[in-house]
Amino acid sequence: MSEAGAAESIFVEGRNCGRVAHADRVAFVVDGEDYFNMFVQAAELATHSIFVIAWDFNSSCRLDYCCEDDSPRARLGSYLNDLARRRRDLHIYVLDWDFPMIYATDREAPASVRWGWGWKPHRRVHLEFDNTHPPGGSHHQKIVVIDDAIAFCGGVDLTCQRWDTPDHSPEEPRRVTGDRPYPPFHDMMIAVDGEAARVLATIARERWHTSTKKWAPQLPVHGNRWPEELEPAVFDVPVAIAVTAPESPPHNGTHEVENLYLDMIARAKRYIYIENQYFTSHSIGAALEQRLREPGGPEIVVVTRLLSHGWLEEYTMGVLRSKLIQRLQAADHEGRFSVLYPAMPGLAEGTCIDLHSKMMAVDDEWLRIGSANINNRSMGVDTECDVAIEAAGRDDVAKAIRDLRNKLLGEHLGVTPEEVARQIDLTGNIRSAVEALRSSHRTLAPLEVEPYSEVTLSLAEMADPEQAVGIDKLLAMFSFGAEFHHPPRAVRQAMPYLVLAGAIFLLWQFTPIPEMLGLRRKPSATQRLLRRWGLDR
């Protein structure tokens, strides 16, 4: 039996999940190569509908590296069009975030699709852009549902710079966008079928309706859509599905994702293992701090990425991460807290293994995988979706959770899951096992952080709000009593990002912050970028 035995379920509908639904099968899909393959295999079985709910979608995304460049299956847009032509009853619904221009350099522009400049979707491939989020928020769910029969949820979007193998080799020749290589990328998805898939289909349809004001038809589907090569980790298990939805009057916000994090942390007895792109959430940080201050509390291991995406993120999310880590280190009187990053020699200068996953395992008892980062935005501002399972006395589920944790640690350390399991059994905790398995080749290294000034910390907080930015109040601050007219939607969406970027630029140019941070004295990737843009005096 698992440690918690047959204790009362942690899942409470209406608090930390919207639904607890039965899944006949649950599988864990780690890294882009396997996920893209599983997506294609499941899509080949589709007869009526495919939903792709995404933070980012790119029609030029490479799906299959076994095909020639001109194969319909090689590129996502061509593949979806080909699939629609082959299946006359099939409708494909793609909902992408209608992003601000600050993201434009890394994404496929909506205008190129809307105005026929690039990929032209088939008439039964319905592509829409979700602009219903409040100012400062984003649509961040990553959900794919095939015929309401199988669903994938997690951190991987069907877009460029997501494909990679578990080796994350610095010399991987296929890891390119066009002719431009990109760093190793680590992420994961969870796959479910049965009632759980139908619940995720409902979430996808509701997002589609919220954005387009149209309902996608729901048709009864019979038969199996589970790919033959997708090996289930567990069978016949309850699945909790938690979402974040920002406040949008007259509807209150939904904070199931945050509450599930807090409840899992509160119930932990032996260990909390986290993989996440970000680590800045106030509420999650406070919950972890409380557990660290308790004598004999659980071990807490956080695996994140070393570097940020560009200078703006470095001096916002990176700064806030440092602040939280230092706070937790100060509370750790028993050596139970570790923050690590996957390291590997041979990576290009200024790059790292881009750990993008969002998962947490607790005590071999609970496991969650989803789209939510451990930052304030994912707890209240962005739309998110996480899927969780619990052992509840079942040894097979506890083993599946433990096996995934060991698989992930083994991938980062360059050893087998069996070696990880042996070391944890031998040493009694994850931290000591990692230290015993650490090598000069592929490893998990301790993340070192530096203190920042209060001015820098206050500025950084603007990038990770807990609530939607009140654009009316923000603009009214600068109206000085003049008559204020409600701005158009496009202005409301862009303004928080423009205000943030403008504030950082002014402080960077006209205050001693750069000197305080030591950026003038030692060349860095940030300085080189600023010089290229003509912003470094």
pLDDT in tens, 35-45: 999 999 999 99
Considering its fold, how many domains does the chain have in total? 3
Stronger pLDDT, 469 or 485, i.e. the higher one: 469
CATH of the domain at 140: 3.30.870.10
Percent of the chain topping pLDDT 70: 80
Check residue 74 and give its pLDDT: 83
Same domain, 285 and 174: no
Query: For residue 456, is it within any domain?
Result: no
Q: What average pLDDT does this structure show over 280-287?
A: 97
Please state, in angstroms and as integers, the Cα–Cα distance from residue 504 to each residue in 473, 479, 515, 521, following that order: 20, 21, 15, 20
Report whether pLDDT(18) > 70. yes
Enumerate the β-bridge partners of residue 299. Answer: 271
Stronger pLDDT, 65 or 439, i.e. the higher one: 439
The pairing of beta strand 176-177 with beta strand 91-97 = unpaired
Tell me the one-letter amino acid at 35. Answer: Y
Please state, in angstroms and as integers, the Cα–Cα distance from residue 117 to each residue in 98, 107, 114, following that order: 17, 15, 8
Q: How confident is the model at residue 522 (pLDDT cuts 50, 70, 90)?
A: very low
Stronger pLDDT, 321 or 107, i.e. the higher one: 321
Residue 442 near residue 413, CB atoms below 8 Å: yes
Q: How confident is the model at residue 369 (pLDDT cuts 50, 70, 90)?
A: very high
Q: What average pLDDT does this structure show over 250-276?
A: 95
Query: For residue 118, is it within any domain?
Result: yes
Residue 377 near residue 467, CB atoms below 8 Å: no
Check residue 343 and give its pLDDT: 96
Helical pair 282-293 and 256-267, crossing angle rounded to 10 deg: 10
Check residue 464 and give its pLDDT: 78
Q: To the nearest 10°, the Cα dihedral for 271, 276, 281, 284?
A: -20
Report whether pLDDT(189) > 80. yes
Check residue 480 and give its pLDDT: 36
- Residues with Cβ within 8 Å of 114's Cβ and at least 6 positions away in sequence, in order, are none
Report whether pLDDT(322) > 60. yes
Same domain, 50 and 96: yes
Query: For residue 148, is it within any domain?
Result: yes
If 0-12 CB within 10 Å is exposed, 13-18 middle and 19+ buried, where does residue 44 land?
A: middle
Spatial distance between the Cα atoms of 163 and 354, rounded to a whole number of angstroms = 11
Query: For residue 324, is it within any domain?
Result: yes
Check residue 523 and give its pLDDT: 42
Hey, CA dihedral for 376, 386, 138, 356, is it positive or negative?
positive
Spatial distance between the Cα atoms of 379 and 468, rounded to a whole number of angstroms = 11
Spatial distance between the Cα atoms of 253 and 246, rounded to a whole number of angstroms = 5
Same domain, 427 and 301: yes
Check residue 270 and give its pLDDT: 97
Same domain, 84 and 145: yes
Kindly report the average pLDDT of the chain as a whole number.
Answer: 86
Same domain, 60 and 201: yes
Q: How confident is the model at residue 525 (pLDDT cuts 50, 70, 90)?
A: very low
pLDDT, tens digit (0-9, with 9 covering 90-100), for 307-318: 988 767 887 888
Residue 527 near residue 519, CB atoms below 8 Å: yes
Q: Which of 216, 28, 233, 213 is nearest to 132 (CA)?
A: 213
Report whether pLDDT(258) > 80. yes
Query: For residue 100, is it within any domain?
Result: yes
Same domain, 283 and 419: yes
State which of 446, 479, 513 marks the end of a domain: 446
Q: How confident is the model at residue 5 (pLDDT cuts 50, 70, 90)?
A: very low
Same domain, 79 and 38: yes
If 0-12 CB within 10 Å is exposed, 13-18 middle and 19+ buried, where does residue 76 land?
A: buried
Spatial distance between the Cα atoms of 350 and 534, rounded to a whole number of angstroms = 20
Same domain, 422 and 498: no
Q: Which two tokens stand for residue 353?
A: 């293994």
Most confident by average pLDDT, 66-70, 113-117, 426-430: 426-430
Spatial distance between the Cα atoms of 358 and 303, rounded to a whole number of angstroms = 10
Query: For residue 169, is it within any domain?
Result: yes
Q: Which of 275, 280, 332 is nearest to 452 (CA)?
A: 280
Check residue 536 and give its pLDDT: 38
Helix segments in 149-255, DSSP class H: 194-212
Same domain, 190 and 242: no
Same domain, 490 and 382: no
Stronger pLDDT, 466 or 164, i.e. the higher one: 164
Query: For residue 433, is it within any domain?
Result: yes
pLDDT, tens digit (0-9, with 9 covering 90-100), for 348-359: 999 999 999 999
- Domain with 477, as residue range(s), is 470-533
pLDDT, tens digit (0-9, with 9 covering 90-100), for 221-232: 888 999 999 999
Give pTM, 2 decimals.
0.86
Please provide the size of the chain in residues: 537
Tokens 């032509």 correspond to 85
Check residue 252 and give its pLDDT: 83
Query: For residue 5, is it within any domain?
Result: no
Q: What average pLDDT does this structure show over 46-63?
A: 95
Check residue 486 and give its pLDDT: 45
Report whether pLDDT(156) > 80. yes
